Amino acid sequence: MLHQIWAALLYLYGIVFNSIFQCPEHRQLTTLGMDRKEFPEPHLGKWYFIAGAAPTKEELANFDLVDNIVFNMSAGSTPMQLQLRATVRLKNGYCKPRKWTYHLTEGSTDLRTEGRPDMMTKLFSSSCPDGIILKETGQGYQRFLFYNRLPYPSEKCVEEFQSLTSCLDFKAFLLTPRKQEACELTSN
Ligand SMILES: *[C@@H]1O[C@H](CO)[C@@H](O)[C@H](O)[C@H]1NC(C)=O
């Protein structure tokens, strides 16, 4: 009996210990403030896709052929919309333009993608200067994506992103190669 109580106590202690001490970066995953000064204006303009993390490799499979992606966020046709354009440089050298319309949610930084009712995007601040973390959730997948204003942020930034997400049980990790020149962003 005493043995079982000890086992239970040790087990609980293990849970508490792990959540406090093994995941110190946990605290860094803070949602962006809704202050108008903080959102969305400072997030407009160019972003480079650096890395992704997900519970399984399959949830990152759509980036397998990607060398690099450059994004450009701009104001949408209404104040509650954002226009996101991207050009994907595929490993085979081809450029693939993409665009999405995001709808802002009143009172939060959550974004809804037009035409994708299953999809939800949450924005988090990053401990890395000029970095931002997105969490995308859709039908059957969820993933964290790390973006930076610079195409090659420091290794420490990437390591922090990886240890934070791995700590949250998003153990599959993908770092974009970024070996080729970024494709040109077009406005059409
Ligand atoms: C990129 O974003 C900026 C800031 O939102 C905007 O002024 C510019 O027109 C955008 N460029 C393209 C090519 O979409």
How is residue 32 annotated by DSSP? P
Whether the CB of 85 sits within 6 Å of ligand 1: yes
Nearest CA to ligand 1 atom 7: 74
Confidence grade of residue 137 (pLDDT, cut at 50, 70, 90): very high
Whether residue 34 is predicted with pLDDT greater than 70 in this model: the reply is no
| Interval between CA 76 and ligand 1 midpoint (Å) | 11
Worst-scoring range by mean pLDDT, 13-17, 19-23, 42-46, 83-87?
Answer: 13-17
Query: In a 3-state reduction of DSSP, which class is residue 129?
Result: coil
Distance of CA 162 to the CA centre of its chain: 11
Q: 29 pLDDT band (50/70/90 cuts)?
A: confident
CA dist 45 and 150 (Å) reads 12
187 Cβ closer than 6 Å to some ligand 1 atom: yes
- Listed residue (122, 168, 128, 129) closest to 145, CA to CA: 122
Looking at residue 8, its pLDDT comes to: 62
24 touches ligand 1 (CB under 6 Å) = no
Band (pLDDT 50/70/90 cuts) for residue 15 is very low
- Ligand 1 pocket residue status of 44, Cβ below 6 Å: yes
Cα 142 from Cα 109, distance rounded (Å): 17
| Span 101-115, average pLDDT | 90
Report pLDDT for 20.
46
pLDDT at 16 over 70: no
Confidence band, pLDDT 50/70/90 cuts, at residue 181: very high
Instruction: Catalogue all structural domains in the chain, each as residue range(s) with its CATH number.
Output: 35-175 (2.40.128.20)
Per-residue model confidence as pLDDT tens digits over 36-72 = 566 788 889 999 999 999 999 999 999 999 999 999 9
Q: Which ranges constitute the DSSP H helices of the chain?
A: 2-17, 155-167
Nearest to 156 by CA among 31, 85, 50: 50
Within 8 A by CB and 6+ apart from 165, the residues are 53, 144, 173
pLDDT at residue 32 is higher than 80: no
Task: Choose the residue to mutate in 41, 46, 72 for probing ligand 1, maximizing ligand atoms within 8 Å of C-beta.
Answer: 72
Q: Helix count (H) and strand count (E) of the chain?
A: 2, 9
Contact present, 154 and 57 (Cβ < 8 Å)? no
User: From the CB of 185, is ligand 1 less than 6 Å away?
Assistant: yes
Identify the weakest region by mean pLDDT among 46-60, 88-102, 104-118: 104-118
